[in-house]
Amino acid sequence: MIVVITGASKGLGKAFAEQFAANNILLLCARNETVLNQTAAKIKSEISSTTIYTKAVDLSIKEEVIAFGKWCLQFGVPDILINNAGSFIQGSVYNEADDSLEKMLNINLMSAYHLSRTLLPSMMNDFTTKHKHIFNICSIASLQAYTNGGSYSISKFALLGFSKNLREELKLFNIKVTAVMPGAVYTDSWTGVDEKRIMEVADIAKLVYTASQLSPQACVEDIVIRPQLGDL
């Protein structure tokens, strides 16, 4: 399979890459080229059956997102797309920086929108496999606003709406769409928090991988997962 993953240099993106690596071709992007290549090299050293190609991309820039999509297509038609890239700026609507909403929408929503639109024509016309699958990594913030969530929550609500539209539009093309809504997962954003209080990135990666392995007639539309003790 060809698996495209955005924001793949660390955190959840890295966990997705590790989970899907065996016997697959991974097309990975992130903004930091050095860290991205280090991640790819580590995965290759641990899983010899994988093939990995990387590209440094600023996913907040439309032209770079589209160029990345076209770059992916030179390797073949993707079977799985994981729109994972995201960014978080703390603050409330009434006191956050003026450009917070634009920044959050560009990375958390528009990158997934433009990349999906670039890849979808080829995915919709490819009948060599039983089905294809798009995963949009949303958030618990897509379901419930919270203090200091501001534009981040707005952007994740929008990503969930985008996912639901795609789900309806792509049914007849054998393309599944899954919105993934995790609560607190231990990444750089949670440095200093008790690791036992929040989830591991591997928890989310395993769920996404399992959802991708179901029969063609089954689609997991939403994945909601929270820490055992609830949201922080």
What pLDDT does 192 receive?
Answer: 75
Fold held by 2-225? Rossmann fold (3.40.50)
Q: How far is the C-alpha of 84 from the C-alpha of 8, rounded, in Å?
A: 8
| Whether pLDDT at 94 is above 80 | yes
Indicate if 152 belongs to the active site.
yes
Tell me: the pLDDT tens digits for 36-86?
Answer: 999 999 999 999 999 999 999 999 999 999 999 999 999 999 999 999 999
- What does 191-218 look like in DSSP terms, one character per residue? TTS-GGGSB-HHHHHHHHHHHHTS-TT-
0.75 exceeded by pTM? yes
| Extents of the domains making up the chain | 2-225
Question: Does the structure show a pLDDT above 80 at 128?
Answer: no
- How far apart, in whole angstroms, are the C-alpha atoms of residue 198 and residue 183? 8
Phi-psi region of 174 (alpha: psi -120 to 50; beta: other; left: phi over 0): left
- Look at residue 207 in the predicted model and tell me its pLDDT: 98
Q: Give the confidence band of 193 by pLDDT, cuts at 50, 70, 90.
A: confident
Residue 12 confidence (pLDDT): 96
Name the H helices within the chain: 11-20, 33-46, 62-73, 100-105, 111-124, 150-170, 201-212
CA dist list (Å): 106 to 28, 63, 82, 156, 212: 19, 12, 17, 11, 27
Q: Active site residue: 53, 152, 186, 209, which one?
A: 152
Smallest CA-to-CA distance from 147 within 188, 192, 95, 197 is with 95
